[in-house]
Structures are given as C-alpha cells and as structure tokens.
Amino acid sequence: MSDAAVDRLPPAARFCARALAAGMAPADLARVLRADDTTIAKHLRVGLAAIGAPPPPPGATETALLAAVEPLVAAARRPPGRTPSTTCLSDDVSAALAAGALDGPLLLAEAEHVADCPACLERIASFTVTEAPAPVAIAPRRGLDVVVTIVCALVVAVLLVWFALRWG
C-alpha cells in the first residue's frame, strides 16, 4: 500500500478516513457531511478499495464496518502528503462544520480542507467529541389541547342530547 493512497481518495472518502483516524465516530461523520450511514459506509468502502483492503460484507453492522476499515484508518493516521488548497477555517466555520450546519459547495470545500489539514481536523474532532447536540424540547401546544377538549366535549353533549330526544 502506498503512503499516498489516502491522499488520492476523493475528498469525502479522504475526510471520512482521516476523521475516523482522528477519533470521530461514524455518527459524527454523518452529521458533519450531512449524510446517512449508508453514504458514510460507501465512502469508507471507496477508501478500502483504494488501499487494496477487502470491504466489509454488505449490510455490515457498525462494529464490523469499523473492524474492516482498520487498515484504512491506519493509513489515514499518517501525515497527509497533500497541502490544503484553502486557508484554515475560522472558528465559526469550524463550529458550523462540526455541527453539520454547512451545505453545498462550502461543505465540500471545508471538508476537503479538513481532510488535508491536521490542525483543522483535530479542531473539528474535538468539537464533535465534546459538543453533542442538545436535545430538542418540543413545547406543548396548549391552544390546540384546549380546542380538542372543547370539540370532544361538544360532540359528547350533542350525542347525549340526541340519545335523550330519540329514546327519552
């Protein structure tokens, strides 16, 4: 396996390999790249093929996938041979990338930069490890509850009056 094999991967696959090597979990990769688990697994399979390692079986569990990509992760731990094509990310862009808030060409460009810049990769990995998304609280809809209760009470009252008039 060539030391440059990871450097030749497509940007998303290179990001996935290097981010796993930096300690990010597959769920973090999915959030950052705004992709589903299947797409992340596809990027990792591309990396495995590029280094000549056997892919995991289709539909493999996350544990089996992580075991299968260990040769790719080991290769990705080596320093990149590529120089980033853009400047390092600002703090707010780093935070937005880690939170999965970037999209489109900006997401792709920043993910490619992070894949080739050890300092930015370390920063993104630290964001994703320490900053789990806050649970979303859904505010109760009191107005709707009141309306539903009144409508139900009216239906019951109408049925009671109808039964009373019909059989009473």
Q: Evaluate whether residue 145 is within a structural domain.
A: yes
Q: Evaluate whether residue 51 is within a structural domain.
A: yes
Mark whether 62 and 107 lie in a shared domain.
yes
Residue found under tokens 């996935």: 16
Give the predicted TM-score (pTM) of the model.
0.73
Domain count, the chain: 2
- Residue 35's Cβ-count burial label (10 Å; 0-12, 13-18, 19+) is middle
Mark whether 123 and 158 lie in a shared domain.
no
Mark whether 71 and 151 lie in a shared domain.
no
Give the residue numbers spanning the domain of 157.
Answer: 138-168
Backbone angles phi, psi at 3, to 5 degrees: -65, -25
Q: Evaluate whether residue 106 is within a structural domain.
A: yes
Q: Evaluate whether residue 56 is within a structural domain.
A: yes
In this structure, the chain runs to a length of 168
Mark whether 63 and 142 lie in a shared domain.
no
Q: Evaluate whether residue 5 is within a structural domain.
A: no
- Whole-number Å distance between alpha carbons of 144 and 149: 9
Mark whether 32 and 76 lie in a shared domain.
yes
- For 16, the token pair is 């996935």
- Whole-number Å distance between alpha carbons of 48 and 152: 60
pLDDT digits 0-9 by tens, 52-102: 999 888 778 888 888 999 999 999 999 999 899 889 988 889 889 999 999
Mark whether 148 and 85 lie in a shared domain.
no
pLDDT digits 0-9 by tens, 97-139: 999 999 889 999 999 999 999 999 999 988 765 444 455 454 5
Mark whether 149 and 115 lie in a shared domain.
no
Q: Evaluate whether residue 33 is within a structural domain.
A: yes
Mark whether 104 and 144 lie in a shared domain.
no
Mark whether 126 and 145 lie in a shared domain.
no
Tell which residue, 119, 96, 112, 84, has the closest CA to residue 16.
112
